[in-house]
Amino acid sequence: MSEKKITELISAAKIAERVRELGAQITSEYAGRELVLVGVLKGSFLFLADLARAIESTEVRVEFLGVQSYGDETSSSGVVEITFDLKKPIDGKDVLVVEDIVDTGLTMEYIQKNLRTRNPASVKLCSLLHKPARQKVKTHIDYLGFTIDDLFVVGYGLDFGQRYRNLPFIGVLG
C-alpha cells in the first residue's frame, strides 16, 4: 500500500488542550457520581484513554462497545450490528458514550437507543469530532471536541483501512 499525503487539520497540542477542557466539564457535571465511559471501538480508543485521564474522579468505569455499520466506504445504511458488547450491566448508572466522530448520526442513534433499553440513569454523548454536513439524523452531542467540514480525516484513533490511527494529530487524507 503506497503512502498517502496527510495534511494536519488539528494539532496534537490543540487536541490535548480540548480533551483537558472536556475532562474538566465532565468532572464538574458528574462530581460525586459513578460514571461509565463507553468507548465505541475502534476509533475512540485513544480519545477515550486521554479523556478518562482528564476526568478527575475515582468513580470512572470504562466499557467498550464494538459496532459495525453496513454500507459502502462513504456512507452508512443505518443497519448496525453489535460486534463487541459491554461486559458489565449499566442499569442505574450514568453512561457517557465516547465516540471519535459523528457524521450521519445513524450509528449513534442506534447505540443510544440500545443503551437506553438497559435502564441506565442517564446516557450522554461525547464526540471528538462532528461533521454536520453529513448529518442524516439529529444527534445531540453533550460534549464536543471539534466541528469539521466534510473531509476524510485520519489520526488520533481514526483510520483508513486500519492505518493511520497512531498519528498524534487529526489529518486530512489526500
**Active site amino acids:** 103
The DSSP bridge partners found for residue 171 are 8, 154
Provide the 10 A C-beta neighbour count for residue 103.
Answer: 22
**Phi/psi at 59 (5° precision):** -95, 45
Q: Hey, is 19 helix, strand or coil?
A: helix
Chain position carrying cell 484513554: 49
Q: Cα–Cα distances in Å, from 51 out to 59, 93, 133? A: 14, 19, 26
**Alpha helices (runs of H) in the chain, residue ranges in sequence order:** 12-29, 45-54, 106-116
DSSP 59-74: -EEEEEEEEEE-S-SS
Identify the burial level of 81 via C-beta atoms within 10 angstroms of its C-beta, where 0-12 means exposed, 13-18 middle and 19 or more buried.
exposed
